[in-house]
Structure 1
């Protein structure tokens, strides 16, 4: 990175959070991964959440923010691929739930409070999308604070449950936990800012329960037609009949997670 390089300023979203959109758009990443730059009032230093992909220009722009700490919401490559480069460019420690994504620092713990770059940040375990998913709460960001949700909540649409690692039981419990948190702004890892954590959590829960009802109905239909043990593909053919082919694989993963949940209930 050249010291004199000038970058387009990051987009300021709240009093404490700015964002740089990584150049990795796609069916699952929407416009791309949101790499957040967090600063307390008057701080010259920053905390970066989710370095994003291994893209030289994106990581150089993040490194120019005088980074004190790098946090990771979960293990997927569109969030973690740039860890080593950003760590090398800044010298900042990297903390995540999984030890393999940490650099020069300890793994994050549920409920832990972090103080860095003039900020207070609470770590919340949020399994479901993946078992290692985390959310980060900034209580001093505006009147109700802000919640960085990773892929647990997206700026639009709904997230997949990355079965077998991600489970519906864990995800519903995470939604309950977020519903009990302050009604903060939602800063998702993909897509735009959302105004009300409580509103979006209620919508996500309703959607999950609706999908579960559709899975039950598909199983009943297949059993009535003589299929003795309906499988993932057969159920997906019914429930996700109109899904775009580019996300069909994700649909089947979500079906697998829901069938596993029904299995735990003794219904499959």
Structure 2
């Protein structure tokens, strides 16, 4: 029988280690299916309950969270602290909602300040990503995304209130009876964090958020305060984890895995291959990120760009642009704004 690769997303409690429980919470019409939040619960009666990540603030998620906590004899109001890996809605918004109801404290990486400010301001949304689509030569897709956004109901911004605490790299935390160390891992977002469990020397774990995922490659730099260099930051963050001792991988999407190093190696190999594919497309004469993206295959199923949904086409073009940025820094391609003033970045092989 072929294993069900989505079995991890069933709303069932999994005890990962003594006092550490994985709680998969549903997402709304999302291909990711679920987000894992991890309960850190001291084995004795003393100590506060902590959740690593909070889930998406929707009724279905709240109901599953309450049911799974109930299996441990706990209630939603018993959670007193949230350690959130990054500012995306499926990780942050329910933590903020439960703080409002029960007074729990919420902590987030200091690198998310600018994005969080923009989300709460008048320019919240994906304006930066749509502008990048225009620069990448995907003007038709940019217009489609703008139309899609105009038709969509804007999600409420209150799920993005400021945290109670801003976390920084190297900070040591005591959470749910465990010893954690904060590691900044920018790339997926600039302020993304992972939490290293150093409670015992021989059984360390990594609460990895979206930085290292077992089944998919994380999107790069998808945030309101987008800046150049996201893929470079992501690869550097992977290298930093690879240089540390190997740990058990506790991801936000997907099953628990035994080796962070093994998956990091796969992610690095994927991006090395993608860089070569993008460079080859440029050498063949494709002049923009949009056209290069159209020549590539996407997802493990090998879809063409035009076979993807609007949102995923946007991610594909933006990821291609991020690879072109790295190739330009390596001197393998050249790129510059189009001389006719249209604002499209054109690329050519460095030897041309």
Give TM-score, length-normalised by structure 2: 0.66
Aligned to 1:189: 252
Segments of structure 2 that go 5 or more residues without pairing to the other structure are 1-10, 70-74, 117-159, 335-352
1:161 is aligned to: 220
In 1, Cα distance between the equivalents of 2:13 and 2:60? Answer: 13
Residue in structure 2 matched with residue 251 of structure 1 by the alignment: 316
List alignment gaps of at least 5 residues for structure 1: 1-7
> Counterpart of 2:105?
93
Partner residue of 2:290? 233
Which position in structure 2 is the counterpart of 1:23?
26
Q: CA deviation at 1:198?
A: 1.0
**Structure 1 residues 35 and 64: CA distance shift in structure 2, 3 A:** same
For 1:18 and 1:65, locate their aligned partners in 2 and report how far apart those are by CA, in whole Å: 17
> Which residue does 1:4 correspond to in 2?
none
SS in 1 for 2:255: coil
Cα root mean square deviation, aligned? 2.4
Partner of 1:110: 169
Deviation at 1:156, TM superposition (A): 0.8
Query: 1:82-231 to 2 correspondence within 5 Å?
Result: 82-97=94-109, 98-99=112-113, 100=116, 105-140=164-199, 143-162=202-221, 164-165=226-227, 167-221=230-284, 223=285, 227=286, 230-231=287-288
Whether the 8 Å CA contact 1:43–1:118 is kept in 2: the answer is no
Corresponding residue of 2:13: 10
1:134 deviates by 0.7
1-structure distance, mates of 2:28, 2:202? 32
1:256 Cα offset (Å): 1.5
How many pairs align?
A: 254
Structure 1: which 4+ aligned runs deviate by more than 6 Å?
Answer: none
Q: Which residue of 2 aligns with 1:38?
A: 40
Against the structure 1 CA distance between its residues 237 and 57, is the aligned structure 2 distance closer, same or farther, given a 3 Å change threshold? closer
Partner SS state of residue 170, structure 2 = coil
Structure of larger gyration radius: 2
Deviations 1:199-258 (A, max 9, x none): 11111111111111111011111x2xxx5xx11210111122632513333222211211
Does structure 2 conserve the Cα–Cα contact (< 8 Å) formed by 1:172 and 1:205?
yes
**1:65–1:186: structure 2 CA closer, same or farther, 3 Å change rule?**
farther
8 Å contact from structure 2 (residues 26, 60) kept in 1 = no
Alpha-carbon distance in 2 for matches of 1:218, 1:154: 27
CA drift at 1:146? 0.8
Structure with greater helix share of residues: 2
Give the drift of 1:90.
2.9
Query: Do structure 1's residue 66 and structure 2's residue 78 form an aligned pair?
Result: yes
C-alpha contact (below 8 Å) 1:95/1:103 kept by paired residues: no
The aligned counterpart of 2:56 is 53
Distance 1:65 1:39 in 2: 14
CA apart distance, 1:152 = 0.8
Mean alpha-carbon deviation: is it higher for 182-191 or for 136-145?
136-145
Does 1:80 find its partner at 2:95? no
